[in-house]
């Protein structure tokens, strides 16, 4: 059975145990029993262990620490108790006492005893030294004012850096600093400044703001009328002539310079919307974009000189450098980077038409040999038409030997290799058609080869060939019918 000794205090072991040496034994023969020998002796006396050689004496190692090698019978303190090492090991944070199999409890802190009776009051001690001087108290209230003294003599006239001229004061030398002691300019202010009027430079207004307008720049918003609000003008002479116009945003020198009553316009760029007078709901962005517009509404011009010459047109969209430069009508779309009359994209919003002056690729890059190149199926609920007017043609000759050529072409069923060519958007399932290489050897006029060597067949161009083949075949049929009729008559005249 395991026995445990509860040690209520360890300090008493500092006493000499020479009186017990004859009983417990002075292990190191130094004529006294030290702490380790005393602990060992207590264990023997209590029956925790038999009397064993001195090599088994418990060695006190003070507080347990990780990363320390502990031998068997080393003793440590940890978390208010003492433990004895049972196996040689290197300590770690994961095996703190009492780790299973490594440590056994040696002693632990006893329960706190009951509070003792209060002792007698001690004698009065000597008086202590005087304390330090305390802080100064608050100042008392101001006393009653005394009687006024006699009037003094008049002092000499004072001096001031300002000169007074009637109701004006002026300063001709030095600089004035507000919120600072060393002004670097004639007027140098450190901190906020509030102006309730107009800030001018060189006599011209450069900053003005009220409850709903903001004007920044020389003469910006110079003529604004009372009640006209929602305007933001930034730049010299921007919106200079705007009177009752409202909700306009003009940014850039001379932008919206001539505007008077136009509203809800956005002009950004040097001279953008410069000539606008009454036009509203326009967006002109770029130097001189919409420059000549005067009364046109709902126009959008994005780009340097875009929509430059349009004056009264409405509902136009011009996008790109000089796009729609010479257009003067309404509801037009121009997308290009020049002033050409055949832009890359041209539209008429009124007629709902769109023109592309170039090639279009759908699901693929555009191919310059075709106006429209489509990867995938195309569908129409109407017909498709191909130019065929005789006035556009020359060197016209009938198709020859059509039946023989058609007879050499083989119609096939097939499926597209969709997995190998996913970018081509080939249709799924069983298809019907011709093999381009076979057709090319007989009727090369209906086969096209692209830059990568892939071939395509114009099935519609086979129609004239089929017409002539049918006609040739019909001629053969008619000839055979005539021959059969003749044979019939000859048979009738044969003797019976």
pTM of the prediction? 0.57
pLDDT bin (cut points 50, 70, 90) of residue 42 is: low
C-alpha dihedral (372, 377, 379, 383), degrees to nearest 10: 60
**Most confidently modeled range among 141-145, 155-159, 232-236:** 232-236
Q: Is 176 left (phi over 0), alpha (psi -120 to 50) or beta?
A: beta
Residue 72 · residue 85 · CB < 8 Å: yes
C-alpha dihedral (74, 78, 83, 84), degrees to nearest 10: -20
Count other Cβ atoms within 10 Å, centred on residue 240: 22
Better-predicted residue by pLDDT, 12 or 249: 249
Region 74-82 average pLDDT = 86
Let me know the angle formed at the C-alpha of 177 by 176 and 182, rounded to the nearest 5 degrees.
110
**CB proximity list for 369: less than 8 A, separation 6 or greater:** 450
Better-predicted residue by pLDDT, 457 or 28: 457
Helix (H) or strand (E) holding 63: strand 59-63
Residue 289 · residue 312 · CB < 8 Å: no
pLDDT over 70 at 14, yes or no: no
Cis amide leading into 98 (omega within 30)? yes
Better-predicted residue by pLDDT, 32 or 485: 485
Please give the domain boundaries of the chain with CATH numbers for all domains. Answer: 11-108 (2.10.10.20), 203-357 (2.150.10), 397-496 (1.10.10)
- With 0-12 / 13-18 / 19 or more C-beta atoms within 10 angstroms meaning exposed / middle / buried, residue 259 is buried
pLDDT over 60 at 24, yes or no: no
> What's the DSSP call for residue 435?
-
Q: What is the pLDDT of residue 37?
A: 59
> What's the DSSP call for residue 119?
P
pLDDT over 60 at 45, yes or no: no
Region 84-94 average pLDDT = 87
Region 192-199 average pLDDT = 76
pLDDT over 60 at 130, yes or no: yes
- With 0-12 / 13-18 / 19 or more C-beta atoms within 10 angstroms meaning exposed / middle / buried, residue 141 is exposed
Q: What is the pLDDT of residue 168?
A: 85
Q: What is the pLDDT of residue 39?
A: 61
- The pLDDT tens digits for 49-58 are 555 554 556 7
Q: What is the pLDDT of residue 185?
A: 85
Instruction: Report percent pLDDT > 90 for the chain.
Output: 50
- With 0-12 / 13-18 / 19 or more C-beta atoms within 10 angstroms meaning exposed / middle / buried, residue 56 is middle
Q: Residue for token digits 């017409």?
A: 467
> 3-class DSSP state for residue 375?
coil
> What's the DSSP call for residue 454?
-
Helix (H) or strand (E) holding 214: strand 214-216
pLDDT over 70 at 31, yes or no: no
Let me know the angle formed at the C-alpha of 78 by 72 and 80, rounded to the nearest 5 degrees.
130
Q: Using only the alpha carbons of the chain, give its radius of gyration.
A: 56
| Pick from 120-134, 272-286, 358-372: least confident | 120-134
> What's the DSSP call for residue 386?
-
Residue 308 · residue 316 · CB < 8 Å: no
pLDDT bin (cut points 50, 70, 90) of residue 99 is: confident
pLDDT over 70 at 1, yes or no: no
Rounded to an integer, what distance in angstroms lies between the CA atom of residue 35 and that of residue 85?
17
Q: What is the pLDDT of residue 205?
A: 79
Q: What is the pLDDT of residue 5?
A: 37
Q: What is the pLDDT of residue 32?
A: 54
Region 473-478 average pLDDT = 94
Region 366-391 average pLDDT = 86
Q: What DSSP string runs through 290-341?
A: TTT-SS--S-EEESTTTTTT-SS--S-EEESTTTTTT--SSSEEEE-SS--S
Region 219-234 average pLDDT = 93
Q: CA dist 417 to 327, 423, 458, Å?
A: 49, 11, 20
Among candidate residues 152, 151, 150, 170, the one with its CA nearest the CA of residue 161: 170
Better-predicted residue by pLDDT, 328 or 211: 328
pLDDT bin (cut points 50, 70, 90) of residue 34 is: low
């Amino acid at each position: 059975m395991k026995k445990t000794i509860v040690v209520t205090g360890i300090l008493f072991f500092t006493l000499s145990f020479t009186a017990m040496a004859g009983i417990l034994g002075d292990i190191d023969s130094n004529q006294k029993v030290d702490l380790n020998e005393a602990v060992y002796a207590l264990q023997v006396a209590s029956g925790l262990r038999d009397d064993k050689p001195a090599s088994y004496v418990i060695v006190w190692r003070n507080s347990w620490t990780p990363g320390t090698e502990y031998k068997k019978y080393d003793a440590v303190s940890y978390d208010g108790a003492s433990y004895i090492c049972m196996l040689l090991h290197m300590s770690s944070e994961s095996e703190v006492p009492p780790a299973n199999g490594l440590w056994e409890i040696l002693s632990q802190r006893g329960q706190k005893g009951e509070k003792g009776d209060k002792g007698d009051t001690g004698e009065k001690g000597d008086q202590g030294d005087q304390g330090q001087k305390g802080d100064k108290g608050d100042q008392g209230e101001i006393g009653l004012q005394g009687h006024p003294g006699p009037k003094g003599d008049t002092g000499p006239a004072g001096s001031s850096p300002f000169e007074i001229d009637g109701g004006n004061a002026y300063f001709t030398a030095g600089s004035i600093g507000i919120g600072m002691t060393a002004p670097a300019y004639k007027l140098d202010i450190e901190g906020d400044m509030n102006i309730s009027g107009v800030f001018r430079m060189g006599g011209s207004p450069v900053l003005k703001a009220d409850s709903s307008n903001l004007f920044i720049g020389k003469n910006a918003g110079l003529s604004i009328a009372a009640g006209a609000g929602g305007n933001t003008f930034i730049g010299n002479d921007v919106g200079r002539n705007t009177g009752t116009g409202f909700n306009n945003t003009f940014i850039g020198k001379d932008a919206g310079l001539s505007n008077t009553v136009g509203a809800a316009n956005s002009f950004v760029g040097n001279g953008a919307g410069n000539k606008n007078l009454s036009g509203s709901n326009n967006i002109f962005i770029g130097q001189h974009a919409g420059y000549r517009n005067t009364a046109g509404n709902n126009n959008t011009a994005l780009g340097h000189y875009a929509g430059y010459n349009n004056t009264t047109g409405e509902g136009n969209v011009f996008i790109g450098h000089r796009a729609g430069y010479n257009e003067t009508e309404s509801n037009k779309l121009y997308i290009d980077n020049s002033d050409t009359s055949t832009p890359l994209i041209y539209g008429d919003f009124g007629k709902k038409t769109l023109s592309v002056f170039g090639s279009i690729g759908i699901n693929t890059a555009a191919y310059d040999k075709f106006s429209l190149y489509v990867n995938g199926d195309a569908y129409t609920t109407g017909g498709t038409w191909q130019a065929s007017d005789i006035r556009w043609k020359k060197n016209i000759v009938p198709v020859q030997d059509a039946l023989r050529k058609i007879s050499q072409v083989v119609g096939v069923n097939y499926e597209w290799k969709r997995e190998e060519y996913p970018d081509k958007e080939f249709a799924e399932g069983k298809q019907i058609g011709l093999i381009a290489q076979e057709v090319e050897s007989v009727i090369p006029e209906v086969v096209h080869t692209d830059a990568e060597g892939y071939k395509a067949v114009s099935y519609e161009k086979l129609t004239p060939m089929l017409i002539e083949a049918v006609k040739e075949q019909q001629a053969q049929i008619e000839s055979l019918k005539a021959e059969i009729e003749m044979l019939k008559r000859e048979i009738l005249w044969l003797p019976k």
